[in-house]
Amino acid sequence: MSLYITSAVIIRNQTVRKNGSVAFQSSETNVHLFLRAIYDYLEVSYTRFHKMDALNKLGWAAAEFLLQEIESGFVDKESAGIVLANKSSSLDTDERFLESTKSVASPALFVYTLPNIVLGEICIRHGLKGENTFFVTPNFDITFMHDYTEQLFESEAVNACIIGWAEQYHEQYEAAFYLVQKSSMGLQEPFTIKALEKLYE
Amino acid sequence: MKRICIHSTNVLSALGKTTSENFASVLNGDTGITRQEDGSFSSIIPPEILDEIAFSNPFTAYSRFEKMAIHSIKEALQASEIRMDDPRTIFILSTTKGNIDLLKTEGNVYPSDLSLHATAEKITLYFQAENRPLVVSTACISGLMALIVGQRLIRSGKYDHAVVCGVDLVSDFVTSGFRSFLALSDRQCKPFDATRNGINLGEAAATVILSNDKNLTENSDNIMLGEGASSNDANHISGPSRTGEELSLAIKNVLRKSKIKPEEIGFISAHGTATIYNDEMEAKAFQLSNITQSPVNSLKGYFGHTLGAAGLLETIISAEALKNDLVLPTMGWEVSGVSVPLKLSREVTYQPMRHFIKTSSGFGGCNAAMIFSKQN
C-alpha cells in the first residue's frame, strides 16, 4: 500500500515549521504566551482554546497548522484517526490539579489530567471520529509510530491519520504532527521512517 | 490473517488474587465495593493481600501500583509457557494515572516515580523482559485499547506474544477529581438503573497474555480475539455523545470486520459506569447497532470503575462467562432507567453462545469495542 505524508508540523524553540519551512516564530519564551501568540497569529475565533491547558493548546496549534488548506482532503471523517504519544503524560496539569485540591478541587483542571484529552480536543475542532490512541514513550519513537501506522492502514482501521508527538511539562514543549493519507497530496512525501525523521530534524 | 488467542489471565482486585477467585465471587454475587472512611463507596484491595505477595528482589522498593502489576503478571505467566524475556514477547501497560498516589504538592522527583513509562520499565526489569515496554494511556478505554494494540503488534509480525496488564489505584487524586465532577455515587453504583447517580471507583490489576502460537490458538479452551476498533465522539471532552452514534460506529465496525451478525452476539459487556449520561449513551449506541436483542451487563457493581484496568478486567471475567455459557447479571440494577429497552438481569443465566462484545467509553470522547469468540 502506498502511503504519503501530506502535511507535517514541528513546534519547538518558539518556532512552528510546516512542511520543512518556518511558518511562525515568536520571541515569547514562556510556553503559555508563545501558544497564545500562535493563536493570535492564526486569527481564528475558538473560545475553547482559552479553557485548555498548555498540552492541549500545543496539540490544538499543531493541528491547526497541519490541516490548513487540507481539511477538504478528509473525504470520510469517520475513518480519520489520530494517534499521538508523549513522555510526560499530563503531569504538568496533574500537579496543578493536586494544588487545587488544597482548597477546592477544580473539575476544569481534572478533565485535563489525562493525556488523551488532546486527541479529544483535536477531534472536536476538526470533526474527526476515527481511531484514537495515546501512547506514553520516553522519546518520540519514529520507527514504532511508522510501523504502527502502517498496521492501522493495512487493517483498514483508518483511511487517513494524524500521527505524532505532543509533549509538554512546565516550560518544555515539543510537537511533531504528520498527516498520513493514501493519495499523494499536499507535501507528497512517501511515508517512510527516513522522511519522518528528516521532517523532525 | 493471524489468529490470536487469550492464553492466560489474572485479576487482582478486592474480590481475589486470581481470575478464578474473582469469577467465583461474581457468580456468588459478592461485591468488592464498601463504604470508605470519607463516606465514598469504592472497591479497595485490602493491604494484607498485597503484603502477602512475596517479591524475589529484596533490593528494589516497589510502589503499591508496581506490586499490583507484578503480582498480576507473575500469576498470568505462571499458568503459561510464554516468557517475558522472549524477544518475541511485548509488554503493554495500560493505565490512566500510574503511581499518582506518589504525587506530592511539592518536591516531586520526576521522572522516576511519576513517569508512566519509567514505571513500566521498572516492571519489565523485574521480569527481565527483552523488549522495551509500551504504555497505552487513553482514559477509560485504555484496557480494551491495549488489547487491540497488542493484537495489531502481533499481526504486524514483530511479536508472537503480548503480555497486556492494566492497573489503576483508588487515590485521593482521582477520588477528589471525580467528586469535583459530582460523578461519585453516594451508595453502591446502579448501572442502567432508573435511580443511578454516579460511579464507584475501584482498584485492580488485570493481565491478559495474548499469543498466536498454533498449539494455543487451536486449543478449544482458549478464547479468540475478534476484531477491535475505537472512535471519537468529536463532541465533548468530559461528557459522552448525546446520540451514541460514535460508539455505534466502533461496534458496527467490529461486527462487520469479524463477520458476525448482531443476533450471534451472546451478550454485551457494557462500560456501564452508572452515570446518567454514560449509560444512556451506551443504550442508544446498542440500539443504533441493532444489538439490543442480546443480553447486556455491566460489572461495575462488583469491582467499581477500575479505569485503566477496566477493559481488561471486564474482558477476563466475560471470557470466563463465555467459556461457561453464562450471562452474568448487573449488580445494582433493578429497574430499567435508559430510554432504550435493554435485556438486563439480576441473575446468572445459562445460555449456549459463541461470542460476546466488550465496549468501553471515556473522557476525551473516546470509545472502543472488541469481539471475543470461542473456537470454531
Quick: pLDDT tens for B333-373. 999 999 999 999 999 999 999 999 999 999 999 999 999 99
Residue A201 CB partners (closer than 8 Å, separation 6+): none
Q: What is the pLDDT at residue B57? A: 61
Preferred mutation among B2, B93, B125, B180 to probe A, highest tally of A CBs within 10 A = B180
Confidence check: pLDDT of B35 > 70: yes
| Domains of chain B: residue spans and CATH | 5-217 (3.40.47.10), 223-373 (3.40.47.10)
CB pairs under 8 A between A and B: 162
pLDDT class for B111, splitting at 50, 70, 90? low
A99–B257: do the CB atoms touch at under 8 Å? no
Q: What is the pLDDT at residue B13? A: 98
Confidence check: pLDDT of B51 > 90: no
Q: What is the pLDDT at residue B1? A: 67
Confidence check: pLDDT of B61 > 90: no
Is B103 near chain A, with CB under 8 Å?
Answer: yes
Averaged pLDDT of chain A: 96
Preferred mutation among A57, A91, A116 to probe B, highest tally of B CBs within 10 A = A116
Is B152 near chain A, with CB under 8 Å?
Answer: yes
Confidence check: pLDDT of B108 > 80: no
What is the mean pLDDT of the segment spanning B204-216? Answer: 97
Confidence check: pLDDT of A73 > 70: no
Note which residues in 334-373 of chain B have CB less than 8 A from chain A. Answer: 362-366
How far is Cα B128 from Cα A104, in angstroms, rounded to an integer? 43
A113–B97: do the CB atoms touch at under 8 Å? yes
Facing B234 at nearest CB: one of A88, A110, A124: A124
The burial of B38, by beta-carbon neighbours within 10 Å (0-12 exposed, 13-18 middle, 19 or more buried), is given as exposed
Preferred mutation among B109, B227, B237 to probe A, highest tally of A CBs within 10 A = B237
Note which residues in 133-192 of chain A have CB less than 8 A from chain B. Answer: 133-138, 144, 147-148, 150-152, 155-157, 169
* A5-57 residue pLDDT tens: 999 999 999 999 999 999 999 999 999 999 999 999 999 999 999 999 999 99
Note which residues in 42-61 of chain A have CB less than 8 A from chain B. Answer: none
Preferred mutation among A136, A145, A149, A150 to probe B, highest tally of B CBs within 10 A = A136
* Sheet strands (E) in chain A: 4-12, 15-18, 21-25, 80-86, 132-136, 160-169, 172-181, 189-190
Confidence check: pLDDT of A164 > 90: yes
**CA A147 to centroid of chain Cα atoms:** 18
Facing A130 at nearest CB: one of B100, B104, B231: B231
Confidence check: pLDDT of A200 > 90: yes
Note which residues in 104-133 of chain A have CB less than 8 A from chain B. Answer: 104-107, 110-111, 113-117, 119-121, 123-124, 126-133
Higher pLDDT pick, A31 / B104: A31
B173–A97: do the CB atoms touch at under 8 Å? yes
Q: What is the pLDDT at residue B38? A: 87
Q: What is the pLDDT at residue B107? A: 73
A116–B139: do the CB atoms touch at under 8 Å? yes
What is the mean pLDDT of the segment spanning A69-91? Answer: 88
Residue/partner pairs of B23-32 with CB below 8 Å, 24 or more apart: B23/B317, B23/B320, B23/B321, B25/B302, B26/B299, B26/B302, B26/B317, B26/B328, B27/B326, B27/B328, B27/B348, B29/B329, B29/B331, B30/B302, B31/B188, B31/B301, B31/B302, B31/B331, B32/B202, B32/B302, B32/B303, B32/B304
pLDDT class for B109, splitting at 50, 70, 90? low
Return the minimum-mean-pLDDT range out of A155-164, B55-64, B204-213, B271-280.
B55-64
Q: What is the pLDDT at residue B58? A: 62
Q: Taking CA atoms, what residue in A is nearest to B238? A: A111
What is the mean pLDDT of the segment spanning B201-205? Answer: 98
Q: What is the pLDDT at residue B313? A: 98
A130–B246: do the CB atoms touch at under 8 Å? no
* B68-93 residue pLDDT tens: 999 999 999 999 999 999 999 999 99
Q: What is the pLDDT at residue A74? A: 66
Confidence check: pLDDT of A137 > 80: yes
Handedness of CA B232, A101, B42, B274 (dihedral sign): negative
What is the mean pLDDT of the segment spanning B147-162? Answer: 97
| Domains of chain A: residue spans and CATH | 4-200 (3.40.47.10)
Whole-number percent of chain B with pLDDT over 90: 91
Q: What is the pLDDT at residue A90? A: 98
Q: Which residues of B touch A137 (CB under 8 A)?
A: 117, 134-135
How far is Cα B5 from Cα B226, in angstroms, rounded to an integer? 9
What is the mean pLDDT of the segment spanning B194-205? Answer: 98
Q: What is the pLDDT at residue B60? A: 74
Is B110 near chain A, with CB under 8 Å?
Answer: yes
A87–B111: do the CB atoms touch at under 8 Å? yes
Is B241 near chain A, with CB under 8 Å?
Answer: no
Facing B145 at nearest CB: one of A82, A133, A144: A133
The answer to whether residues B221 and B80 touch, using CB atoms and an 8 Å cutoff, is: no
Residue B20, helix vs strand vs coil: helix
Q: Which residues of B touch A147 (CB under 8 A)?
A: 156, 158
Averaged pLDDT of chain B: 95
Tell me the H-state helices in B127-230. Answer: 142-155, 172-180, 214-217
Confidence check: pLDDT of B2 > 80: no
B116–A136: do the CB atoms touch at under 8 Å? yes
What is the mean pLDDT of the segment spanning B35-61? Answer: 82
What is the mean pLDDT of the segment spanning B172-194? Answer: 97
Q: Which residues of B touch A155 (CB under 8 A)?
A: 152, 155
Q: What is the pLDDT at residue B78? A: 95
Q: Taking CA atoms, what residue in A is nearest to B94? A: A135
Facing B156 at nearest CB: one of A134, A135, A147: A147
The burial of A69, by beta-carbon neighbours within 10 Å (0-12 exposed, 13-18 middle, 19 or more buried), is given as exposed
* B307-326 residue pLDDT tens: 999 999 999 999 999 999 99
What is the mean pLDDT of the segment spanning B223-228? Answer: 98
Whole-number percent of chain B with pLDDT over 70: 97
What is the mean pLDDT of the segment spanning A98-103? Answer: 94
How far is Cα B140 from Cα B298, in angstroms, rounded to an integer? 14
